[in-house]
Amino acid sequence: MKTSEATGDKPAPRPLDDSALSRILREQQFGVLAAVRSTGHPHLSTVLYRWDEKERVLLISTTVDRLKARLLRRNPHASLHVRGDDIWSFAVAEGVAEVSEPTTEAGDRTGRELLSLTPGFDDPAAERAFLEEAVAERRVVIRIRVSRLYGAALDMTEPAGAA
């Protein structure tokens, strides 16, 4: 366990490399999205996302009228904070967001992109119902093109007797 002079016997944060950060993003599915309000304060929203490691893009489904979509259209700077396997590790992805046009016809381009965020459907009727519901809800896809990844971990050990 690495320690810091400033913290004595407590472990120091260990920066995570790109591979470890991508692993956190790939293995988790929930994160906290930060967008910028007109006041300059952050707007935080818990979201379900998918990480495309090859393209370095985060994909998030929302509706056209949600605050996060409106804020990101006005100011596309975004960050996603994702907790690691334990409370002592995290990854942050920063980048520029783009918000798609809402899906307007079942199976259109946005609808197919929304469909890619699901585990898939065995029943074509269920897939069609999903696409129709996405149109009715006026769903959009937020794409965050990640330009910076950072995060850290603390190598904590459980105290004796902790369970």
- What does the pLDDT read at residue 55? 97
Length of the chain: 163
Q: How many CA atoms lie within 13 A of 129 on its CB side?
A: 7
Confidence at 6, pLDDT banded by 50, 70, 90: low
Q: Beta-carbon neighbour count of residue 126 at 10 Å?
A: 12
Q: Which domains does the chain have, with CATH numbers?
A: 14-101+140-153 (2.30.110.10), 103-137 (no CATH)
pLDDT tens profile 50-59:
999 999 999 9
